[in-house]
Structure 1
Amino acid sequence: MGAAQQTGDSAGVLRSNEVGPDEALQLLDEDGAIHQDSTFSPYIQELSQETLRGFYADMALVRRFDTEATALQRQGELALWVPMVGQEAAQIGSGRAMNKADYAFPTYREHGVALTRGLDLADLLKLFRGISNGGWDPRETNFHLYTLVLAAQTLHAVGYAMGIQRDRAADPSTEAAAVVAYFGDGASSEGDVHESMVFAASYNAPVVFFCQNNNWAISVPFEVQSKIPLVNRAGGYGIPGIRVDGNDVLAVYAATQWALDHARNGHGPVLIEASTYRVGAHTTADDPTKYRLLAEEELWKTKDPLARLEAYLRAEGLADDEFFEGLKNDGDELAAHVRKATLALGGADIRQKFATVYAQAHPLVAEELAWFENYEASFSDAETQISGTQGGAA
């Protein structure tokens, strides 16, 4: 519970206080029991029964979506997929804390945040099928395009936040807003994250840095990247830091609400470290059995974000078997929609990709396109030869 400490200044600023590796803000434990915290509990006390059920529904639906997307990749319908099972609470809790005017900069795994921002989840698959460099218009939902370049989105997020500052300075009637920059523990080792926090702190930019520490940067364990909890870095930038149980959707929601209020009210950036776990592979090109133990995975399954919220909802009489069965049907309908939409996309036009590398024709790209066309034609020649051989034998 000692994930942050409140000082006596007028802004109510939280300062990370040499948080230990086992310390994190928790409002809902693994057994579904509520814990109290003087700073953060008020953010969940007024949540309606409908909102609490909505948190569970969001997590259940995005998990079913993720399962379907993984199956589509395994069946050859996607070039790659980035699973997020296990991280539902971190994403749904933070996403639901945002206002409509706030803006999210994701990495490539924030499928749950996409759901909370109103995206058709089928649109996420356009990128992974290779038919689009994006898949949606970020201006419609304030959810930016996925960023495959590690940590680059943190720089973009700070720049956008500084733009919000300038818009409000020019027109004080502009609605207050903040930015959430998502990144993982692996990306935290990139220089872009450091530079982003320096600029954000220097300019007091309204941005919340939200790190989903899922314990593994592909095959590199977190303890190799950092000898201390990431939240302790906040003190070096002079900004508040909160370490939260990333599998506790209520704690994540409360911490993100606090951080966004802090940023929108002109008090500057906040770093949130959500301690969670990637249950499956880093991507569908990865095999986690090569670098981590089954016992570790089994331990984290006892901390499952859906199971603990379900326990709470049942114990409080807020949801019954009919509710959970209905969600299974809703999940199957979502999966069917995503599959149908994906199969209707057709294939990628690889030649169009060559045509848009540069604004103008480039001799090296033309050379590479010619190689690809010859390579592709070789398959047709081989098929013709095989067909001719079989015809002669007949």
Structure 2
Amino acid sequence: MDLKDLAVRAEADSSRLPEDEAGNAGRGSLDREAAPEMVQMLSPEGELLLHGPYGAYAAELGAEELRGLYRDMFTIRRFDQEATALQRQGELVMWVPMTGQEGAQIGSGRALQPQDYVFPTYREHGVALTRGLELSSLLRRFRGVSHGGWNPAEANFHLYTLVLAAQVPHAVGYAMGMARDRKMDPQLPEAATVAYFGDGASSEGDVHEAMVFAASYDAPVVFFCQNNHWAISVPTEVQSRIPLANRARGYGFPGIRVDGNDVIAVRAVTSWALEHARSGKGPVLIEAFTYRMSAHTTADDPTKYRLSADEEAWISRDPLSRLEKHLRAAGLAEDEFFEGLEADGQAMADKLREDVLGMSSPGFTDAFTDVYAEAHPLIQEELEFHRRYEAGFADPEEPTE
């Protein structure tokens, strides 16, 4: 079964969507739209085929860049494993795994330029790595010691958004502002925003409203949907009667479906989409067709709602193994390279654990100082009230003779 077969299966699985009398998979007699062509450049066997309109963007990758893509994917998977272990050991309140989605995140993240701005959900750990964030900072919120964990302005990587799809309108508004700033000052570099969201979030009204505004104002934004097939326990085919990439036509801008487990294809497609957006041609929707190999969060049990056979069908399409096959077959990496990554990954995990265990909890008064950038009279009044309240529980001083 190749990737297209999996796409068809995911879009019309007769075990989940009974056929009606006309033989149409789905509800009622509405025909499902044909899935768009899947952009793929690296086969599951590691064979590289640079073709189509995006081939030139992949052809520019040299041996060092290809090894860098693998290094990033390996590093972020090892990070994900360590973060999951920390949660299981009670050191994190919760964790949001991303194993299986490394190709979609590293490929798109490496297509970004420094002036671009990213609006993530809560699972874009790989994109954060490509933006240069300290990985331990991603865990501050999940340990409960910070509302954020990093300064978004330092890497143009916004704070994680736990409210489903709320970041998508923010990305469009920010992109509109960037376009207006450059219109007023042409010396500013061309820039775009990327709004990351999942197939589940695509059902939210925020996404629809954001796409309407983006299309109306030709906002320089790339909508990057990681279709990992499950919105927690609801499969994609229940959420949408048509392939998600096809929705872009309704708003009047391009929609592309790319093999999300092919890091080379994802980088190429995202590079094209960002150039399209930055140059004033308007938004693009990318549907990265991938699979969540782990749980939605560490509070989730995927065995309750999906079949192990589905997971096994995607193992051979692992984004790391297919790039490793290509690197070895093309003579671009030897055993020493992969052994070195194992050692580096363990050192990173050890440092990560040390950083997490050393994180200090904020004091109660920090809740008052973090509300506004500058002191606010009402907040100061409430803080003083709290201090007097706490002082009321202090032991009275013993009388002196």
TM-superposed CA distance for 1:87, in Å, is 0.1
Instruction: Tell me which residue corresponds to 2:219.
Output: 205
d(CA) in 2 for partners of 1:34, 1:115:
25
TM-superposed CA distance for 1:228, in Å, is 1.3
Instruction: Tell me which residue corresponds to 1:259.
Output: 273
Instruction: Tell me which residue corresponds to 1:49.
Output: 63
d(CA) in 1 for partners of 2:212, 2:100:
31
Work out whether residues 36 and 245 of structure 2, in 8 Å CA contact, stay in contact via their aligned partners in 1: no
- What TM-score, normalized by structure 2, do the two folds share? 0.84
Deviation readout 1:136-174 (Å, 9 max, x if unpaired):
111110111100010010011001100111111101111
For 2:319, give the aligned amino acid.
P
Aligned pair 1:26/2:73, yes or no? no
Q: State, as a whole percentage, how many aligned pairs show the same letter.
A: 66
- Show structure 1 runs of 5+ residues with no match: 4-17, 362-368, 374-394
d(CA) in 2 for partners of 1:29, 1:142:
33
- Show structure 2 runs of 5+ residues with no match: 8-31, 380-385, 391-401
Instruction: Tell me which residue corresponds to 2:134.
Output: 120
TM-superposed CA distance for 1:346, in Å, is 2.8
Aligned pair 1:144/2:158, yes or no? yes
d(CA) in 1 for partners of 2:325, 2:188:
42
Instruction: Tell me which residue corresponds to 2:11.
Output: none
Aligned pair 1:178/2:198, yes or no? no
Work out whether residues 243 and 273 of structure 1, in 8 Å CA contact, stay in contact via their aligned partners in 2: yes
Deviation readout 1:299-358 (Å, 9 max, x if unpaired):
111110000000000000000110000001111111111111100003455675588689
d(CA) in 2 for partners of 1:341, 1:202:
46
Q: 1:60-139 maps to which residues of 2 (within 5 A)?
A: 60-139=74-153
d(CA) in 2 for partners of 1:315, 1:228:
38
Q: 1:1-394 maps to which residues of 2 (within 5 A)?
A: 20-21=34-35, 23-347=37-361, 349=363, 352-353=366-367, 360=378
Secondary structure at the aligned position of 1:183 is classed as strand
For 2:219, give the aligned amino acid.
A
Work out whether residues 50 and 58 of structure 2, in 8 Å CA contact, stay in contact via their aligned partners in 1: no
Work out whether residues 104 and 262 of structure 2, in 8 Å CA contact, stay in contact via their aligned partners in 1: yes
What is the RMSD of the two structures over their aligned residues, measured on CA atoms? 2.5
d(CA) in 2 for partners of 1:339, 1:283:
20
For 1:27, give the aligned amino acid.
M
TM-superposed CA distance for 1:23, in Å, is 3.9
Work out whether residues 43 and 254 of structure 1, in 8 Å CA contact, stay in contact via their aligned partners in 2: yes
d(CA) in 2 for partners of 1:295, 1:188:
26
d(CA) in 1 for partners of 2:364, 2:90:
17
Work out whether residues 129 and 348 of structure 1, in 8 Å CA contact, stay in contact via their aligned partners in 2: no
Deviation readout 1:45-72 (Å, 9 max, x if unpaired):
1211100000000000000000000000
Secondary structure at the aligned position of 2:322 is classed as helix
Secondary structure at the aligned position of 1:150 is classed as coil
Work out whether residues 263 and 270 of structure 1, in 8 Å CA contact, stay in contact via their aligned partners in 2: yes
Secondary structure at the aligned position of 2:38 is classed as coil
- What TM-score, normalized by structure 1, do the two folds share? 0.85
Secondary structure at the aligned position of 2:349 is classed as helix
Work out whether residues 130 and 348 of structure 1, in 8 Å CA contact, stay in contact via their aligned partners in 2: no
d(CA) in 1 for partners of 2:298, 2:366:
26
Secondary structure at the aligned position of 1:131 is classed as coil
For 1:181, give the aligned amino acid.
A
d(CA) in 2 for partners of 1:350, 1:285:
27
For 1:217, give the aligned amino acid.
A
Instruction: Tell me which residue corresponds to 1:383.
Output: none
Secondary structure at the aligned position of 1:72 is classed as helix
d(CA) in 2 for partners of 1:44, 1:201:
28
For 1:283, give the aligned amino acid.
T
For 1:196, give the aligned amino acid.
A
Instruction: Tell me which residue corresponds to 1:385.
Output: none
For 2:53, give the aligned amino acid.
T
For 2:350, give the aligned amino acid.
A
d(CA) in 2 for partners of 1:303, 1:350:
48
d(CA) in 2 for partners of 1:20, 1:88:
27
Report the CA distance shift for 1:348/1:287 in structure 2 as closer, same or farther (over 3 A): farther
Secondary structure at the aligned position of 1:274 is classed as strand
d(CA) in 1 for partners of 2:101, 2:218:
29
d(CA) in 2 for partners of 1:93, 1:159:
25
d(CA) in 2 for partners of 1:354, 1:215:
41
Report the CA distance shift for 1:173/1:151 in structure 2 as closer, same or farther (over 3 A): same
Secondary structure at the aligned position of 2:69 is classed as helix
